Structures are given as C-alpha cells and as structure tokens.
Structure 1
C-alpha cells in the first residue's frame, strides 16, 4: 500500500500542489503520492469520514472555498478557529486522529522574511480564508496601519478587530493609501475570474506588491506593479512555503528546499 496526501477544493484542476509534493517525494526517494481531489462543500463531512478510515491517507491541504468550513468537520486541538479562523491543512496526529492547522501564515511570511514590516502601512485585498492567515501573520509582525479592501467592508472591519490591527475597511473601488506593502488574498486575477483593477499610483516607491494567485503566475496586478517599477512577490512563493510545512506533517520528512530553483522551473514549464 502507498501512503498519500492530497489537496481538496472546488475547483481544483488548476492546483500545482501535486507537482510540488511529488517533486519532493521523488527527490527524497520516498514512497508516496499526492493528488488533487475536487470536493463540494456539501460533501466535506462524508469526505473526511471516508479518509479517516483509510490507513494510507496522511492528510490534505485545503483550498478555496473550504478553509473556514473544514473546521466544522475536523478536530481543532490547536484552536485554529479562535486564532486564524481558517485551516488549510489536515493531518493525522500520533494517535491517528485528524488535526486541523494552518500553514498559510508562515508560508505567506517566508518570501518576505527579509522585509522590515515594522510600522509599514499595508493594504490587503480580500477577507476570506487566505486573508485571515495573512492578517494573523501581519498582526504578529508589528505592521502599521492596515487597510482592507473588500466587496463587503463590514466583513473586513470585523477581521481587523479580530486580529487587533489598526486600520480601516474600504470597498474595492476605494483609492489606495500610500502603503509599503499590497497583498492580494482574493481570487481576483485568477484564471476564469475578473481582474483586480487597482490604480497603484498612490503606493510608495519602495512598495512591494504580493499576489497569492498563481494561475496565471503574472497576474494583471503584478504586471501593473512591474510597470511601475515596484518589487513583486508571486503566488508560487507562498504556495511553496506553505506546502513545505504541510509536506513534513504528511510524510515525516523535511522537503529538500535546496532544489527550489529546479522546482520553480518545473512549475513554470
């Protein structure tokens, strides 16, 4: 029998997670597999009931739209619900029981670890599960004022309050403040979704624009940022960062990050 993990979501065909985890399994010479599985929201309960009974199943990553709902179906001993409020990883504990956790926050910070975020004003687009992880990470980084743009500003305002961040919630059509970091956590700009149309003129000249969307890799937002001469971080950076943490939970071995350049080339092929 072969141990396996997977990523679940709806849709899921665009996911690059199988390529990442299979690459690491191959490099380490480990027996195992990693798959992409479409799961409807109405089927989440049945899905986990089936998987927990399968001794070969090591866990799963969770993507849109299930990052909040998964906490209704999986034990949460680390109290992810009360902290981040969303889970992106489910794995087996030492007793075989399922555990929900979140690797998105650390994965988000990984590619900007050298960036001094202290007192830096930040704009975050979106207020879903990924936004929760990003805002949680920012709340631990000593950032300055945080502006959240969302179709429903009231929802965004609630997240600012939850994470103890000073700032304001505005509609997507609002003019950007002079921020030093802009992060898109929404699906806007993803293949099949409408573009995220923002005027980046107000951003500081040293600003970094970070888009967690990775299909396409160069989103309209990142293209606009490059045209303005701003530094950018694409969605593959966060994807690989959070995947590395999950891989160790699933397969009990640290991924070989010394091959990141080769992995990136394969992801872009």
Structure 2
C-alpha cells in the first residue's frame, strides 16, 4: 500500500509548532487525502534528512523553522529570488526533480496589511523592532511597498547590517533602550500618512521579558503589529488597543505564510473561508 502524500515542518525543537494543526485543518476542508506532520531534525541530521526526502515520491515538501532557515539553503538546488534577498528559507518544495527554497514570511506578513497597502498615502513609515531573520523579511516587504524603515534593536551593528541590506542609512537605526523612556517629540500632522510599528522580536512572548516601549514614541493613528502569537494578546497589542490604535496579532502572519506554503505543497489555494474557526483552534 503506497504512502499518502505528505508535507511536514522541520526544526529543533519542533513540538511547539502549530503548522500541523493549520495544514491538517485545511486538508480536511479541501477534501485532500494527504498528511502534514512535525519532524524533529537536528542540525547534524539536516543533510541526510533531505537526501532521504529527495527519494520519497510521496513527499510534497516541508516548512523550515528555527534553527534551519539559513543552513538549509546550501542543501537546495534552487533558491527563489525573494528568499535569496531575505537570506532565509522557510519552505522547501520538490519541483521537476529539484529542491526549491522559498520564503513565505514576506507575503504572510503583508497579508493583513493589504487593505491599507491598496490605499494611497503621502508617506509611509515603519518602526521595526528587532534585526533578526524575521525582521529582514518584514523590512524588505515594507521597503518594497514604499515604507521608510527605522530599525530599532538592542544590537546596533545588527540593525545597521539589516538597513544596509536594502538601503544604508545610519540615521534610521536606533537603540531599543531609547524607546523605553518617554519622549516629548511633537508629532506633526499625520493626515495622509501610514505609520506602522512592528515587533519582530521574542519580547512579550510567553516566558520572555516584556517589550518595553513607551507609547509617546508611537505616532497618532499608527498601526501596531506584533508577530508574536503566544500569547495572542501581547502587552504591546493590549496597550495599543487601549489607546484606540489598530492592532494586528501574530496569527495573521502565521496563517498567511502557511497558506502560501500550502498551495505550493498541495497545488490548490488554502481554503480560507473558516479562518475564524482555525484561529479558535490555534488559541484554544
């Protein structure tokens, strides 16, 4: 009896991943007889893992999480240009006998912003907190959509390197500590402007220290976006909502990037008509 077609998520550790729940939910909704699983792959086993998967005709690909997003690139035959720019791969798909690496964080991050991005603005500015791998996908996505990005990080060298990857400007790099203390900066008229504040760090995540951000640094009418999804309502988002600001939680990006991967794995768009039910499952 032949094995069902399957995809998977790999990482070290991997038990915390919500990807199996998301993809199995969509497989059921789409009526596709396939499986999606989580596979614990240690760094020293990464090469042998892909050697074995290349030979498996039932394998439809994998999502890639920490700590493999960069290391996996050397083991692939092709890298999508967007993933090459980001310098990280989170989705691997067998295509025409070759393994191709993609990065769906770019499109997944942008998905909940699409209604705003379709509007015309006089100026777009993003304050991006963090300078790691997720921050680069976010920064490039926003840069490509006309945002001027300020990179805010504990490690200024890392922040400068991130800025230099798309547009060097040391004036738009700042230490995170600066944003923990109040400012008396008088924000000008923001009419026609789109301001975005994005947390790409683990600060505020369950078990991690909080993100110390004084909201005097947040422009009026800004959109606050936290890619953390555990807890779903981070202290950053809770304060944003209390101040009447628009807030976007991390499940939007998680589901958005998974949808892009699902279509590559199984050849059909992810069925998105029951997203509210899926969100309830993920937070239940």
* TM-score scaled by length of structure 1: 0.91
Listed as ranges, the matches of 1:158-197 within 5 Å are 158-164=161-167, 168-175=172-179, 180-197=195-212
Measured after TM superposition, the shift of residue 81 of structure 1 is 5.4
Residues 13-45 of structure 1: CA deviation (Å, up to 9, x unaligned): 222111110011001111111112232333322
In structure 2, C-alpha distance between the alignment counterparts of 1:44 and 1:170, rounded to whole Å: 36
Q: How does 1:64-79 map to 2 (within 5 A)?
A: 64-79=66-81
Contact 2:73 2:79 in 1 (8 A): no
Compute the displacement of 1:237 (Å). 0.4
Q: How many angstroms does 1:165 deviate by?
A: 6.4
Q: Using the alignment, how far apart are the partners of 1:201 and 1:141 within structure 2?
A: 26
- Label 1:258 to 1:79 Cα distance change in 2 as closer, same or farther (>3 A): same
CA–CA distance in structure 1, aligned partners of residues 134 and 145 of structure 2: 17
Q: What is the Cα deviation at residue 102 of structure 1? A: 0.8
Q: Tell me, in whole angstroms, the C-alpha distance in 2 between the residues paired with 1:140 and 1:82.
A: 15
Does residue 198 (structure 1) correspond to residue 244 (structure 2)? The answer is no
User: Is 1:129 equivalent to 2:129 in the alignment?
Assistant: no
CA distance in 2, matches of 1:197, 1:33: 41
**Structure 2 residue 146 is the aligned partner of structure 1 residue 142:** yes
The alpha carbon displacement at 1:209 in A equals 0.9
2:160 to 148, 157, 165: 157
Q: Aligned pair in 2 of structure 1 residues 81, 28: CA closer, same or farther (>3 Å)?
A: closer
- Determine if contact 1:14/1:215 at 8 Å carries over to the other structure: no
Check conservation: 1:139, 1:165, Cα contact below 8 A: no
Equivalences for residues 232-251 of structure 1 within 5 A: 232-251=247-266
CA-atom RMSD in angstroms? 2.1
Q: Is the 1:80–1:87 contact (alpha carbons within 8 Å) kept by the matching residues of 2?
A: no
Question: Could you list the runs of 5+ residues in structure 1 that have no partner in the other structure?
Answer: none
1:126 and 1:44, CA in 2 relative to 1: closer, same or farther beyond 3 A? Answer: farther
SS in 2 for 1:186: coil
Structure 1 contact 12–36 (Cα < 8 Å) conserved = yes
- Is contact 2:12-2:66 (8 Å) kept? yes
Cross-structure match for 1:23: 25
The structure-2 alpha-carbon separation of the partners of 1:39 and 1:199, relative to structure 1 and needing over 3 Å to count, comes to farther
Aligned: 1:113 with 2:123: no
Structure 2: gaps (5+ residues): 188-193
Give the match for residue 62 of structure 1.
64
Paired residue total? 267
Distance 1:68 1:34 in 2: 23
Q: Does 1:268 align with 2:276?
A: no
Equivalences for 1:25-40 in 2 at 5 Å?
25-40=27-42
Q: What whole-Å deviation, never above 9, does each CA across 1:170-209 have from its counterpart, x for those lacking one?
A: 2221227869211111222222322222112221121111
Q: Is 121-130 or 189-198 further displaced after alignment?
A: 189-198
**Which residue matches 1:97?**
98
Inter-partner Cα distance in structure 1 for 2:178 and 2:243 = 20
Runs of 4+ in 1 over 6 A off after TM superposition: 176-179
Find the aligned partners of 1:252 and 1:81 in 2 and give their Cα distance: 20
CA distance in 1, matches of 2:74, 2:197: 31
Does the 8 A contact of 2:127 with 2:152 survive in 1?
Answer: yes
Contact 1:45 1:73 in 2 (8 A): yes
Equivalents in 2 of 1:171, 1:71: separation in Å?
A: 31
